Structure 1
Amino acid sequence: MLKRAQGWAMERVGDEDSLCLDPVAHRAWIMGQEVRLPRRMFHLLYHLATHPDRTFSLTGIGSILSAEKGGYMEPNAVAVQVYRLRKTLSTYGALGWLQSVYGFGYRFTPPKTRKMS
Protein backbone atom coordinates (compact mmCIF):
# COMPACT_ATOMS: atom_id res chain seq x y z
CA MET A 1 0.00 0.00 0.00
CA LEU A 2 2.85 2.40 0.72
CA LYS A 3 4.22 1.82 -2.79
CA ARG A 4 0.93 3.01 -4.23
CA ALA A 5 1.06 6.13 -2.07
CA GLN A 6 4.48 7.25 -3.29
CA GLY A 7 4.36 10.82 -4.45
CA TRP A 8 1.51 11.66 -2.10
CA ALA A 9 2.04 14.13 0.70
CA MET A 10 0.32 11.54 2.96
CA GLU A 11 -1.25 14.25 5.08
CA ARG A 12 -4.85 15.15 5.70
CA VAL A 13 -6.27 17.86 3.46
CA GLY A 14 -9.12 20.24 4.30
CA ASP A 15 -11.68 20.18 7.07
CA GLU A 16 -14.76 18.05 7.69
CA ASP A 17 -17.18 20.94 7.05
CA SER A 18 -16.53 21.12 3.29
CA LEU A 19 -13.91 18.67 2.05
CA CYS A 20 -11.57 16.49 4.05
CA LEU A 21 -9.33 13.76 2.64
CA ASP A 22 -7.21 11.42 4.72
CA PRO A 23 -4.90 9.37 2.44
CA VAL A 24 -3.53 7.26 5.29
CA ALA A 25 -6.97 6.02 6.35
CA HIS A 26 -8.38 6.33 2.80
CA ARG A 27 -11.35 8.31 4.11
CA ALA A 28 -13.15 11.25 2.54
CA TRP A 29 -15.73 13.70 3.82
CA ILE A 30 -17.70 15.99 1.52
CA MET A 31 -19.92 18.61 3.13
CA GLY A 32 -19.63 16.82 6.48
CA GLN A 33 -20.69 13.42 5.13
CA GLU A 34 -18.30 10.51 4.89
CA VAL A 35 -18.06 9.25 1.32
CA ARG A 36 -16.70 5.92 0.08
CA LEU A 37 -14.61 6.46 -3.03
CA PRO A 38 -12.91 3.94 -5.29
CA ARG A 39 -9.10 4.07 -5.26
CA ARG A 40 -8.66 5.98 -8.52
CA MET A 41 -11.37 8.49 -7.72
CA PHE A 42 -9.89 9.08 -4.26
CA HIS A 43 -6.43 9.54 -5.75
CA LEU A 44 -7.76 12.02 -8.34
CA LEU A 45 -9.75 14.00 -5.76
CA TYR A 46 -6.76 14.10 -3.41
CA HIS A 47 -4.49 15.42 -6.17
CA LEU A 48 -7.02 18.03 -7.25
CA ALA A 49 -7.64 19.11 -3.64
CA THR A 50 -3.93 19.63 -3.06
CA HIS A 51 -3.82 21.80 -6.20
CA PRO A 52 -7.00 23.91 -5.99
CA ASP A 53 -7.77 26.38 -8.79
CA ARG A 54 -5.17 24.77 -11.05
CA THR A 55 -6.36 23.64 -14.47
CA PHE A 56 -5.41 20.14 -15.65
CA SER A 57 -5.69 18.78 -19.18
CA LEU A 58 -7.14 15.35 -19.91
CA THR A 59 -3.58 14.15 -20.52
CA GLY A 60 -2.46 15.55 -17.16
CA ILE A 61 -5.32 13.87 -15.33
CA GLY A 62 -4.57 10.64 -17.19
CA SER A 63 -0.97 10.85 -15.95
CA ILE A 64 -2.19 11.33 -12.39
CA LEU A 65 -4.53 8.35 -12.60
CA SER A 66 -2.07 5.99 -14.27
CA ALA A 67 1.05 7.07 -12.34
CA GLU A 68 0.90 4.20 -9.88
CA LYS A 69 0.83 1.64 -12.69
CA GLY A 70 3.15 3.48 -15.06
CA GLY A 71 0.67 3.07 -17.90
CA TYR A 72 -1.45 5.20 -20.14
CA MET A 73 -5.15 6.02 -19.93
CA GLU A 74 -7.21 6.78 -22.99
CA PRO A 75 -8.85 10.24 -22.97
CA ASN A 76 -12.32 8.64 -22.90
CA ALA A 77 -11.42 6.67 -19.77
CA VAL A 78 -10.17 9.86 -18.14
CA ALA A 79 -13.39 11.65 -19.07
CA VAL A 80 -15.39 8.83 -17.45
CA GLN A 81 -13.39 9.17 -14.21
CA VAL A 82 -13.96 12.93 -14.19
CA TYR A 83 -17.67 12.42 -14.88
CA ARG A 84 -17.98 9.94 -12.01
CA LEU A 85 -16.12 12.24 -9.63
CA ARG A 86 -18.28 15.19 -10.65
CA LYS A 87 -21.43 13.09 -10.15
CA THR A 88 -20.26 11.97 -6.69
CA LEU A 89 -19.43 15.54 -5.68
CA SER A 90 -22.83 16.82 -6.80
CA THR A 91 -24.60 13.99 -4.93
CA TYR A 92 -23.07 15.24 -1.68
CA GLY A 93 -23.80 18.92 -2.30
CA ALA A 94 -20.54 19.93 -3.95
CA LEU A 95 -22.03 20.87 -7.30
CA GLY A 96 -19.73 23.10 -9.32
CA TRP A 97 -16.49 22.25 -7.51
CA LEU A 98 -15.11 20.42 -10.54
CA GLN A 99 -15.39 22.79 -13.49
CA SER A 100 -14.77 22.31 -17.18
CA VAL A 101 -12.31 24.77 -18.69
CA TYR A 102 -13.34 25.06 -22.30
CA GLY A 103 -10.60 23.98 -24.70
CA PHE A 104 -8.21 22.78 -22.02
CA GLY A 105 -9.48 20.48 -19.29
CA TYR A 106 -10.74 20.70 -15.72
CA ARG A 107 -10.25 22.84 -12.62
CA PHE A 108 -11.13 21.97 -9.02
CA THR A 109 -12.44 24.94 -7.06
CA PRO A 110 -13.74 23.99 -3.61
CA PRO A 111 -14.99 26.65 -1.18
CA LYS A 112 -12.16 28.48 0.50
CA THR A 113 -11.27 27.18 3.97
CA ARG A 114 -8.36 28.06 6.15
CA LYS A 115 -7.04 24.46 6.26
CA MET A 116 -7.18 23.66 2.51
CA SER A 117 -3.71 23.06 1.03
Structure 2
Amino acid sequence: MKLLIVEDEPALITSLVSYLQGQHYVCEVASTFADAQEKMLLYDYDCILLDLTLPGGDGLDLLRELQRQRKANGVIITSARNAVEDRITGLHLGADDYLPKPFYLPELSARVAALVRRRHYNGSNLIQAHALTVDVLARTASVAEKPLTLTRTEFDLLLLLLANQGRVIAKGAIAEHLSGDAAEQFDTYETVYAHVKNLKRKLTEVGAADYIRTVYGIGYRFEPGAAA
Protein backbone atom coordinates (compact mmCIF):
# COMPACT_ATOMS: atom_id res chain seq x y z
CA MET A 1 0.00 0.00 0.00
CA LYS A 2 1.33 3.42 -0.93
CA LEU A 3 0.90 6.60 1.09
CA LEU A 4 1.62 10.26 0.44
CA ILE A 5 2.52 12.24 3.56
CA VAL A 6 1.85 15.95 3.03
CA GLU A 7 3.59 17.57 5.99
CA ASP A 8 6.15 20.33 6.59
CA GLU A 9 7.36 19.53 10.13
CA PRO A 10 10.68 17.63 9.71
CA ALA A 11 10.49 15.81 13.07
CA LEU A 12 6.94 14.66 12.42
CA ILE A 13 7.83 13.57 8.88
CA THR A 14 10.64 11.40 10.25
CA SER A 15 8.35 9.83 12.85
CA LEU A 16 5.56 9.18 10.35
CA VAL A 17 7.81 7.63 7.71
CA SER A 18 9.65 5.45 10.23
CA TYR A 19 6.46 4.17 11.87
CA LEU A 20 4.40 3.65 8.71
CA GLN A 21 7.20 1.92 6.85
CA GLY A 22 7.34 -0.44 9.82
CA GLN A 23 3.65 -1.12 9.14
CA HIS A 24 4.52 -2.21 5.58
CA TYR A 25 3.53 0.98 3.75
CA VAL A 26 5.49 2.60 0.94
CA CYS A 27 5.77 6.27 1.92
CA GLU A 28 6.33 9.36 -0.20
CA VAL A 29 6.63 12.85 1.25
CA ALA A 30 5.65 16.32 0.04
CA SER A 31 6.56 19.22 2.34
CA THR A 32 5.21 22.15 0.32
CA PHE A 33 1.94 22.96 -1.40
CA ALA A 34 3.59 22.84 -4.84
CA ASP A 35 5.26 19.46 -4.22
CA ALA A 36 2.02 17.99 -2.89
CA GLN A 37 0.01 19.30 -5.83
CA GLU A 38 2.45 17.78 -8.33
CA LYS A 39 2.51 14.35 -6.68
CA MET A 40 -1.24 14.20 -6.05
CA LEU A 41 -2.07 14.96 -9.67
CA LEU A 42 0.60 12.76 -11.25
CA TYR A 43 0.32 9.64 -9.10
CA ASP A 44 -2.26 7.49 -7.33
CA TYR A 45 -2.12 6.67 -3.64
CA ASP A 46 -4.05 4.35 -1.37
CA CYS A 47 -4.14 7.14 1.21
CA ILE A 48 -2.97 10.75 1.45
CA LEU A 49 -2.18 12.15 4.91
CA LEU A 50 -2.85 15.84 4.43
CA ASP A 51 -1.80 18.71 6.65
CA LEU A 52 -3.77 21.88 5.93
CA THR A 53 -1.16 24.51 6.78
CA LEU A 54 1.59 24.25 4.18
CA PRO A 55 4.31 26.51 2.79
CA GLY A 56 2.84 28.01 -0.36
CA GLY A 57 -0.84 27.27 0.12
CA ASP A 58 -3.80 25.77 1.96
CA GLY A 59 -4.38 22.02 2.06
CA LEU A 60 -8.10 22.56 1.46
CA ASP A 61 -7.20 23.91 -1.99
CA LEU A 62 -5.42 20.62 -2.69
CA LEU A 63 -8.66 18.82 -1.87
CA ARG A 64 -10.52 21.11 -4.25
CA GLU A 65 -8.02 20.28 -6.99
CA LEU A 66 -8.41 16.54 -6.37
CA GLN A 67 -12.17 16.99 -6.64
CA ARG A 68 -11.85 18.91 -9.92
CA GLN A 69 -9.55 16.24 -11.35
CA ARG A 70 -11.85 13.43 -10.12
CA LYS A 71 -8.92 11.73 -8.40
CA ALA A 72 -10.04 8.82 -6.23
CA ASN A 73 -7.27 8.87 -3.61
CA GLY A 74 -8.28 8.29 -0.01
CA VAL A 75 -7.53 11.31 2.21
CA ILE A 76 -7.06 11.69 5.95
CA ILE A 77 -6.58 15.27 7.11
CA THR A 78 -3.97 15.53 9.89
CA SER A 79 -3.92 19.10 11.10
CA ALA A 80 -3.49 21.33 14.15
CA ARG A 81 -6.29 23.46 12.70
CA ASN A 82 -9.08 22.11 14.83
CA ALA A 83 -11.88 24.47 13.78
CA VAL A 84 -15.20 22.78 13.10
CA GLU A 85 -15.51 24.74 9.85
CA ASP A 86 -12.26 23.23 8.54
CA ARG A 87 -13.42 19.72 9.39
CA ILE A 88 -16.76 20.20 7.67
CA THR A 89 -15.20 21.82 4.61
CA GLY A 90 -12.59 19.08 4.31
CA LEU A 91 -15.16 16.31 4.51
CA HIS A 92 -17.41 18.06 1.98
CA LEU A 93 -14.42 18.34 -0.36
CA GLY A 94 -13.91 14.57 -0.29
CA ALA A 95 -11.67 13.84 2.70
CA ASP A 96 -12.46 10.47 4.30
CA ASP A 97 -11.36 11.30 7.84
CA TYR A 98 -9.97 14.09 10.04
CA LEU A 99 -7.40 13.44 12.77
CA PRO A 100 -6.37 16.53 14.77
CA LYS A 101 -2.78 17.00 15.93
CA PRO A 102 -1.25 15.82 18.16
CA PHE A 103 -2.21 12.21 17.49
CA TYR A 104 -0.92 8.76 18.39
CA LEU A 105 0.83 6.95 15.55
CA PRO A 106 -0.96 3.63 16.22
CA GLU A 107 -4.33 5.43 15.92
CA LEU A 108 -3.26 7.00 12.64
CA SER A 109 -2.14 3.62 11.31
CA ALA A 110 -5.45 2.06 12.35
CA ARG A 111 -7.38 4.79 10.53
CA VAL A 112 -5.28 4.32 7.40
CA ALA A 113 -5.92 0.57 7.49
CA ALA A 114 -9.66 1.13 7.98
CA LEU A 115 -9.78 3.56 5.05
CA VAL A 116 -7.96 1.11 2.77
CA ARG A 117 -10.34 -1.68 3.78
CA ARG A 118 -13.38 0.47 3.04
CA ARG A 119 -12.13 1.69 -0.31
CA HIS A 120 -10.62 -1.53 -1.71
CA TYR A 121 -11.93 -4.53 0.20
CA ASN A 122 -15.54 -3.70 1.18
CA GLY A 123 -14.56 -3.05 4.78
CA SER A 124 -13.23 -6.56 5.41
CA ASN A 125 -9.79 -7.77 6.42
CA LEU A 126 -10.34 -10.97 4.44
CA ILE A 127 -10.21 -11.09 0.65
CA GLN A 128 -11.45 -14.21 -1.13
CA ALA A 129 -10.79 -15.01 -4.78
CA HIS A 130 -11.81 -18.61 -5.44
CA ALA A 131 -9.28 -20.78 -3.57
CA LEU A 132 -7.12 -17.78 -2.64
CA THR A 133 -7.65 -16.17 0.78
CA VAL A 134 -5.76 -13.09 1.95
CA ASP A 135 -5.86 -11.57 5.42
CA VAL A 136 -4.92 -7.92 4.91
CA LEU A 137 -4.39 -7.13 8.58
CA ALA A 138 -2.37 -10.25 9.41
CA ARG A 139 -0.57 -10.04 6.04
CA THR A 140 -1.05 -13.75 5.36
CA ALA A 141 -2.26 -15.62 2.29
CA SER A 142 -3.30 -19.18 1.53
CA VAL A 143 -4.66 -21.25 -1.32
CA ALA A 144 -7.19 -23.92 -0.30
CA GLU A 145 -5.85 -23.51 3.24
CA LYS A 146 -2.26 -24.14 2.10
CA PRO A 147 -0.06 -21.27 3.39
CA LEU A 148 1.46 -19.02 0.75
CA THR A 149 4.89 -17.73 1.80
CA LEU A 150 5.48 -14.30 0.27
CA THR A 151 8.04 -11.55 0.65
CA ARG A 152 6.81 -8.12 1.70
CA THR A 153 6.95 -6.86 -1.89
CA GLU A 154 5.19 -9.93 -3.28
CA PHE A 155 2.40 -9.51 -0.73
CA ASP A 156 2.04 -5.81 -1.63
CA LEU A 157 1.91 -6.77 -5.31
CA LEU A 158 -0.80 -9.34 -4.60
CA LEU A 159 -2.85 -6.74 -2.69
CA LEU A 160 -2.50 -4.28 -5.58
CA LEU A 161 -3.73 -6.88 -8.07
CA LEU A 162 -6.61 -7.92 -5.81
CA ALA A 163 -7.69 -4.30 -5.33
CA ASN A 164 -7.91 -3.96 -9.13
CA GLN A 165 -9.42 -7.31 -10.12
CA GLY A 166 -10.27 -7.45 -13.80
CA ARG A 167 -8.39 -4.24 -14.61
CA VAL A 168 -5.05 -3.98 -16.40
CA ILE A 169 -2.32 -2.40 -14.28
CA ALA A 170 0.54 -0.89 -16.26
CA LYS A 171 4.09 -1.97 -15.45
CA GLY A 172 4.99 1.61 -14.60
CA ALA A 173 2.10 1.90 -12.16
CA ILE A 174 3.19 -1.31 -10.45
CA ALA A 175 6.79 -0.12 -10.17
CA GLU A 176 5.71 3.23 -8.76
CA HIS A 177 3.29 1.59 -6.32
CA LEU A 178 5.86 -0.84 -4.96
CA SER A 179 8.85 1.50 -4.88
CA GLY A 180 7.43 5.02 -4.61
CA ASP A 181 9.87 7.74 -5.67
CA ALA A 182 12.62 5.15 -6.16
CA ALA A 183 10.82 3.81 -9.26
CA GLU A 184 12.01 6.85 -11.22
CA GLN A 185 15.62 5.64 -10.85
CA PHE A 186 15.04 2.57 -13.01
CA ASP A 187 15.10 2.51 -16.81
CA THR A 188 13.55 -0.93 -17.15
CA TYR A 189 10.91 -2.98 -15.41
CA GLU A 190 13.07 -6.00 -14.70
CA THR A 191 12.24 -5.76 -10.99
CA VAL A 192 8.52 -5.80 -11.77
CA TYR A 193 8.96 -8.81 -14.07
CA ALA A 194 10.88 -10.65 -11.34
CA HIS A 195 8.28 -9.98 -8.62
CA VAL A 196 5.39 -10.98 -10.86
CA LYS A 197 7.20 -14.14 -11.98
CA ASN A 198 7.95 -15.14 -8.39
CA LEU A 199 4.39 -14.45 -7.25
CA LYS A 200 2.93 -16.49 -10.12
CA ARG A 201 5.32 -19.35 -9.34
CA LYS A 202 4.45 -19.40 -5.64
CA LEU A 203 0.72 -19.37 -6.39
CA THR A 204 1.11 -22.27 -8.80
CA GLU A 205 3.23 -24.27 -6.36
CA VAL A 206 0.37 -24.35 -3.81
CA GLY A 207 -2.22 -25.29 -6.42
CA ALA A 208 -3.68 -21.93 -7.49
CA ALA A 209 -4.89 -21.25 -11.01
CA ASP A 210 -3.11 -18.77 -13.28
CA TYR A 211 -4.86 -15.77 -11.77
CA ILE A 212 -2.29 -13.25 -13.02
CA ARG A 213 -2.52 -12.67 -16.75
CA THR A 214 0.09 -10.81 -18.78
CA VAL A 215 -1.22 -8.10 -21.11
CA TYR A 216 1.72 -7.87 -23.48
CA GLY A 217 3.26 -4.46 -23.88
CA ILE A 218 1.11 -2.98 -21.12
CA GLY A 219 1.12 -4.80 -17.79
CA TYR A 220 -0.84 -7.36 -15.78
CA ARG A 221 -4.41 -8.22 -14.83
CA PHE A 222 -5.77 -10.34 -11.98
CA GLU A 223 -8.56 -12.54 -13.38
CA PRO A 224 -11.00 -13.39 -10.57
CA GLY A 225 -12.86 -15.73 -12.92
CA ALA A 226 -9.94 -18.14 -13.16
CA ALA A 227 -10.80 -21.37 -11.36
CA ALA A 228 -8.31 -23.42 -9.39
Q: Is the aligned partner of 1:36 residue 2:53?
A: no
Percent identical residues: 25
- Code of the residue aligned with 2:196 in structure 1: it is V
Q: For the residues of structure 2 that align with 1:18 and 1:90, how far apart are their CA atoms?
A: 12
Count of equivalent residues: 110
Residues 130 and 224, structure 2, Cα contact 8 Å, conserved in 1: no
State the superposition RMSD in angstroms: 2.4
Q: Assess, with a 3 A threshold, how the Cα gap between structure 1 residues 93 and 111 changes in structure 2: closer, same or farther.
A: farther
**Aligned position for 2:203:** 89
**Aligned position for 1:115:** none
Q: Is the aligned partner of 1:12 residue 2:12?
A: no
Residues 14 and 21, structure 1, Cα contact 8 Å, conserved in 2: yes
Higher normalized helix content (fraction of residues): 2
**Aligned position for 2:106:** none
Structure 1 unpaired stretches of 5+: 113-117
Q: Post-superposition shift, 1:44?
A: 0.5
Q: For the residues of structure 1 that align with 2:166 and 2:129, how far apart are their CA atoms?
A: 20
Could you list the structure 1 runs, at least 4 aligned residues long, displaced by more than 6 angstroms after superposition. Answer: none
Paired residue secondary structure (1:77): helix
Structure 2 unpaired stretches of 5+: 1-17, 26-45, 47-112, 118-123
Q: Post-superposition shift, 1:25?
A: 1.1
Using structure 2 for the length normalisation, give the TM-score. 0.43
**Aligned position for 1:3:** 20
Higher relative contact order (CA 8 A, sep 6+): 1
Q: Assess, with a 3 A threshold, how the Cα gap between structure 1 residues 42 and 59 changes in structure 2: closer, same or farther.
A: same
Residues 127 and 135, structure 2, Cα contact 8 Å, conserved in 1: no
Selected match of 2:218 from 104, 107, 112: 104
Q: Assess, with a 3 A threshold, how the Cα gap between structure 1 residues 22 and 58 changes in structure 2: closer, same or farther.
A: same
Q: Post-superposition shift, 1:2?
A: 5.8
**Aligned position for 2:164:** 51
Q: For the residues of structure 2 that align with 1:50 and 1:16, how far apart are their CA atoms?
A: 11
**Aligned position for 1:25:** 138
Q: For the residues of structure 2 that align with 1:58 and 1:29, how far apart are their CA atoms?
A: 25
Q: Post-superposition shift, 1:81?
A: 0.5
